[in-house]
Structure 1
């Protein structure tokens, strides 16, 4: 049996250098500005997307990959080594049809194809870190079963919280009502966002001002991790300042052993806007 191959989609927000080093296969989602369609993280990178977003009078939309696009990736990997199992981990099925496209693609291939498709029930580096862990283990020659166990354990060990500068994009994307967005903007209300176990975005709390929001995130994370050794990945969309401030606060309050950085890509950024920041914390 060959080494396990790892597939994910572009919303995992994994840095290019990491994807290339670990041989992770990416199936991109699409970002649509009016008549223009771009492949997330392929024909439009994060910085280009946020610059275009600032200049555009049209709010972009997003689209999942087709089953054919998945089957082409699976087919290529199987052609390279038919004995290599494939683990394919994707954006929450509650947020996108990407997972379902992967399932359909699998059904289009020969029955004996060893492909395991997993719903991350998460978004951005919330599952991107699991993809990276899986790819590292695959490079080390670990079995498919051991890798899946590690993915599931990391899911249990991870908490994630998002902050957004404005509620405008959540409102336009249908995540909250127009009245809530207007009142929130007037009162400087900052929702602290996370994902439920089913993979649905929800507001953990709502506080007034960024300082209080950061303090509340620290309080929430303390309830889970206390003084345990933790690692964390900080993510940001266009501006890094809020994420850097939050990072410094977290370093002063937690037993942080590892810090990584990534950017929030175009697809997730369509719904969170250019001022989003996030922390993904996990047990070491």
Structure 2
């Protein structure tokens, strides 16, 4: 069976040790503070990013990988794994970034050289990072390309994610606020619960007073989806490790969790959410 290689972009926020263990190939996005440009996860780690965010007089900006960045990655994989390699690319939501388009155009440049499939995750951060990890595991376990694609599509369609943020300021200024603009001007201590809709757009779910109530409502909604089914969960946070660990403990106690991940929101997604994000993604297995 031809080898399968899973490719993603750095906004998936997959820990480098997982990338290396599972053979996941990552194309970095770029983060810019004024005239200073960094490669997400390569020359700028999450902790360094949030420190710069606190100190910088200017808000950061992000940019997608170029078509040539993806083409170079595809060529590198083909050279290393041979012309029969099968490449599956899972990208950040096309509704949030042009990354998906870059990956697709790069594929069109190399269609005769390799078997490449590009998929829009319609998700962000480790929400699709979890899907990438599961796809890489399936490929390593010897599943066929079609089996891996079926798994990816099933997870994209069924994974549920809810998150709360400290402020809508970063989403608004970065132009990624989507339908959550309905929550602008909320009263003090009102915590907006958001989710990504079927097209990958940030969408309001509910406004709750106080963080504790918001977390409980988020868990309640995920439990309505999961019932007693076994699930995999991903706790996602930005500079909130204690809150993330507490959320993880609750999710594992209150739901039938067979595996739980914990990931920090990296520089690309963090540019548009700011610190203080706390969320949970759950998918039936």
Fold match by TM threshold 0.5 = yes
The secondary structure found in structure 1 opposite 2:83 is coil
- TM-superposed deviation, 1:6: 0.9
Evaluate the alpha carbon distance shift between residue 148 and residue 61 of structure 1 in structure 2; reply closer, same or farther with a 3 A threshold: same
Partner of 1:283: 284
- TM-superposed deviation, 1:122: 0.7
Give the alignment of 1:248-259 within 5 angstroms. Answer: 248-259=249-260
The secondary structure found in structure 2 opposite 1:245 is helix
* TM value normalised by structure 1: 0.94
Partner of 2:116: 115
Partner of 2:272: 271
Partner of 2:18: 18
- TM-superposed deviation, 1:192: 0.9
Aligned partners of 1:109 and 1:135: how far apart in 2?
22
Partner of 2:154: 153
Aligned partners of 1:254 and 1:148: how far apart in 2?
27
Evaluate the alpha carbon distance shift between residue 160 and residue 48 of structure 1 in structure 2; reply closer, same or farther with a 3 A threshold: same
Evaluate the alpha carbon distance shift between residue 167 and residue 110 of structure 1 in structure 2; reply closer, same or farther with a 3 A threshold: closer
Whether 1:44 and 2:44 are equivalent positions in the alignment is yes
Give the alignment of 1:1-284 within 5 angstroms. Answer: 1-80=1-80, 81-174=82-175, 175=177, 181=184, 183-184=185-186, 186-284=187-285
* TM value normalised by structure 2: 0.94
Structure 2: gaps spanning 5 or more residues: none
> Is the contact between residue 238 and residue 275 of structure 2 (CA under 8 Å) also seen in structure 1?
yes
> Is the contact between residue 139 and residue 148 of structure 2 (CA under 8 Å) also seen in structure 1?
yes
| Runs of 4 or more consecutive aligned structure 1 residues displaced over 6 Å after TM superposition | 176-179
Q: How many correspondences in the alignment? A: 282
Evaluate the alpha carbon distance shift between residue 55 and residue 235 of structure 1 in structure 2; reply closer, same or farther with a 3 A threshold: same
Structure 1: gaps spanning 5 or more residues: none
